[in-house]
A and B are shown apart, each in its own frame.
Chain A
Amino acid sequence: MIRHTLRSLATLLFAALVGSIVVFVLVNMLGGDIVTVLLGKEAGPGDVQFMRDELGIDRPLVVQYLDWLRGVATGDLGTSYGMGYDIFDEIVRRLEPTLMITLGGLLVSIPLALLLGTYSATNAKKVRGGVIDVFSQVGVAIPAFWAGLLLVLVFAVRLGWLPTGGYVPLSEDPIETLRSIILPVMALSLGVTAVFTRYVRTAMIDVMNEDFMRAAMARGRTRRGAALFHGVRNASIPLVTVAALQFGQLIAGAVVVENVFVLPGIGRLIVTATLGREVVVVQSLALVIMLFILVLNFLVDIAYGFLDPRIRDKAESQ
């Protein structure tokens, strides 16, 4: 177990290091000078030099990189050039809507996918199973932003049941908070549910073919009973490994969905900053989001070790 944890931790750190280098290289070595991007081509030489000093751009790249990392580690991510806000404070301020919709998305999509995928696997040869299959194929192909537009059209514009967008913080009015995230969560969950349903289905079909499923039936389980009591437990092992991929999907979806519903979250912040060419803001935000996903992956990896007794023992005996 300890060995497993250490290895996961090493992977986390290694991946974070490589990821940060990639982001840094993309920002600093591709397509010319940051200052030109920030100030535009018309800036006078005095302004340019001021900016260069401000950003410390004339220092060696390695020094700049390490300085940036130190900043991220201490919560000092820099300030927005265009809008003047402190990046770290802004992230904290905008965390709530993003967390609300991503958590909501997880809570909706994972149980739903488990249900649909298991149902489809146990009815694999029947029409009912096929319908779920078609749903998941189509669901994978529907972009989150289009799903969002459709939902707004139906439930906000036409029926008027829910707001077209915007966000009310929990501290002000929890009911309104819920109302404001229902449509975003639905739009976000569609794709993730569809993808995860396919995984669950594959994993369940594989498990259903295992000898121990037949052994469970031989002890008096019905097919469905064996699927529920033995199948789900065992299928969860391969599912946990792919769940990590879903976090990335979820975050990507959140970025898009926040922009459809004008939610003042991290996703909207990074897109606004991108359109405003706020290179420094985007660079830091990208790294923070990346670290967030990697940490989630790390936690999933640990959970995986706990889940499978074989891995648990292997790690102990080594």
Chain B
Amino acid sequence: MSVTDIDTVPDVDTAIPAAPKSLWRRLRRLPITLYLGGALVSIFVFVALLSFVWTPYPPNQLNMSNRLAPPGTPGFFLGTDRGGRDVMTELMLGARNSLYVSVVSTVVAMVVGSAIGLAVAGSNRYFQGPLTRLVDAGLALPGILTALVLAAKLGPGNTTATLAIIIWQIPVAARVTIGPARQVLALDFVEAAYGYGRRKPYILVRHVLQNISPLLIVLGSVMFAAAILIEAALAFLGVGVQPPTSSWGRFLNETQALLDAAPYLMFFPGLAIVFTALGFNLLGDGLRTVLDPQQSRSGLS
């Protein structure tokens, strides 16, 4: 998952915007990962939103006469599951659930995490070392542990999953914020701002936050991918979202018993997860290249 990419997000001081060129030339120079990731993410969001107004069949409509129809069956493009539910409908609803969980968890974790990161970066040097190392340790702990503890106490469900992802992602967001925020704090204009009497909280929000915002955008994209993957894993284990809400992970859990009878059932939800997570990761990669030409050129000069 993508805790992974946090160490390669751009350094702030190297993020120099490209010289203005004609729009077409600039678009053509954008990295392919940006387009590919953007396309995958757009499809995902579109399908998830579309499910609110249209699905091939009403949600959870059972159709016992059409149980386990293979893909390509007339009327059931991707086939049906054990209860005769249309797979395409289920997948669209699953996208909705993925989107919901990942939006909520990413936004909350980003806000809280980067606030903590800013506070740590702005704290005095006696606190900074231990706090940073604590955040590091938090980073090493897998999110699934929190999720299981929460699920045991609160019961499984979307809220539990969302809460668990938030708790897990907060150190990630904090860790990514600390380093660059510290770099910005060391810049001359920040010194100058102190010079004419600005207080630290103002500087942190007004100057530092603004300077590291490109990095937070990249981070957001990568965190999204991680959230999608962990939501699916939790649902697969049965500690995430519960019936009747549709979810890719839960769908895969149900197909496990049918590996022999209907192996094709496991392909589409799995591919949906892979392409969505891949999309967000690629988008993050592409954004990083655009926002930080220096870093992405490393290896050339």
Residues of A at the B interface (CB closer than 8 Å) are 11-12, 14-15, 18-19, 22-23, 26-27, 30-31, 34, 37, 121, 124, 137-138, 140-146, 149-150, 152-153, 157, 164, 191, 195, 198-199, 202, 205-206, 208-209, 242, 244-245, 247-249, 251-252, 255-256, 259-260, 270-271, 273-275, 277-279, 281-283, 286, 289-290, 293-294, 297
The residues of A that contact B260 with a CB separation of less than 8 Å are 157
Q: Does B75 sit at the interface, judged by CB under 8 A?
A: no
Given contacts A19-B141, A208-B299, contact A249 B270 (CB under 8 A): no
Q: Are A141 and B225 in contact (CB under 8 A)?
A: yes
The residues of A that contact B145 with a CB separation of less than 8 Å are 252, 286, 289-290
Residue of A nearest to B130 (CB): A14
Q: Does B151 sit at the interface, judged by CB under 8 A?
A: yes
Q: Can you report 17 residue pairs joining A to B where beta carbons are below 8 Å apart?
A: A19-B138, A137-B281, A140-B4, A140-B278, A140-B281, A141-B278, A149-B255, A152-B259, A198-B5, A252-B143, A260-B256, A271-B148, A274-B151, A274-B152, A279-B153, A282-B148, A290-B141
Which candidate, B57-65, B94-102, B209-217, B235-243, is the interface stretch facing chain A? B235-243
Q: Does B156 sit at the interface, judged by CB under 8 A?
A: yes
The residues of B that contact A143 with a CB separation of less than 8 Å are 229, 232-233, 236, 249, 270, 273-274, 277
| Of B146, B236, B282, B298, most A-chain CB atoms within 10 Å | B236
Q: Are B140 and A275 in contact (CB under 8 A)?
A: no
Q: How far is the CA of A46 from the CA of B220 in the complex (A)?
A: 51
Binding site secondary structure of chain B: helix
Q: Are B149 and A27 in contact (CB under 8 A)?
A: yes
Q: How far is the CA of A143 from the CA of B253 in the complex (A)?
A: 13
The residues of A that contact B26 with a CB separation of less than 8 Å are none
Q: Does B124 sit at the interface, judged by CB under 8 A?
A: no
Q: Which of B140, B259, B285, B298 contacts A294 (CB 8 A)?
A: B140
| Of A31, A141, A249, most B-chain CB atoms within 10 Å | A141
Given contacts A138-B278, A143-B270, A149-B270, contact A270 B148 (CB under 8 A): yes
Q: Which of A149, A247, A297 contacts B266 (CB 8 A)?
A: A149
Q: How far is the CA of A18 from the CA of B141 in the complex (A)?
A: 12
Q: Which of A23, A37, A124, A281 contacts B299 (CB 8 A)?
A: A124
In this complex, the interface size class of chain B, counting residues with CB under 8 Å from chain A, is 35 or more
Q: Are B153 and A27 in contact (CB under 8 A)?
A: yes
Residues of B at the A interface (CB closer than 8 Å) are 1-5, 7-8, 130, 133-134, 136-146, 148-156, 167, 225, 229, 232-233, 236-239, 249, 252, 255-256, 259-260, 263, 266, 270, 273-275, 277-278, 281-282, 285, 298-299, 301
Binding site secondary structure of chain A: helix
Q: Are A141 and B281 in contact (CB under 8 A)?
A: yes
Q: How far is the CA of A153 from the CA of B154 in the complex (A)?
A: 34
The residues of B that contact A251 with a CB separation of less than 8 Å are 142
Q: How far is the CA of A157 from the CA of B255 in the complex (A)?
A: 14
Q: How far is the CA of A104 from the CA of B138 in the complex (A)?
A: 25
Q: Are B152 and A279 in contact (CB under 8 A)?
A: yes
Given contacts A209-B299, A274-B148, A283-B149, contact A294 B137 (CB under 8 A): yes
The residues of B that contact A140 with a CB separation of less than 8 Å are 1-2, 4, 225, 277-278, 281
CB distance from B28 to the nearest CB of A (A): 20
Query: Which 6 residue pairs spanning A and B have beta carbons closest together?
Result: A252-B142, A15-B137, A141-B277, A141-B278, A282-B152, A205-B299
New contact pairs (11) apart from A18-B138, A252-B142, A297-B137, CB-CB < 8 Å: A11-B133, A12-B137, A141-B225, A141-B273, A145-B232, A153-B266, A206-B299, A252-B233, A270-B148, A275-B239, A283-B152
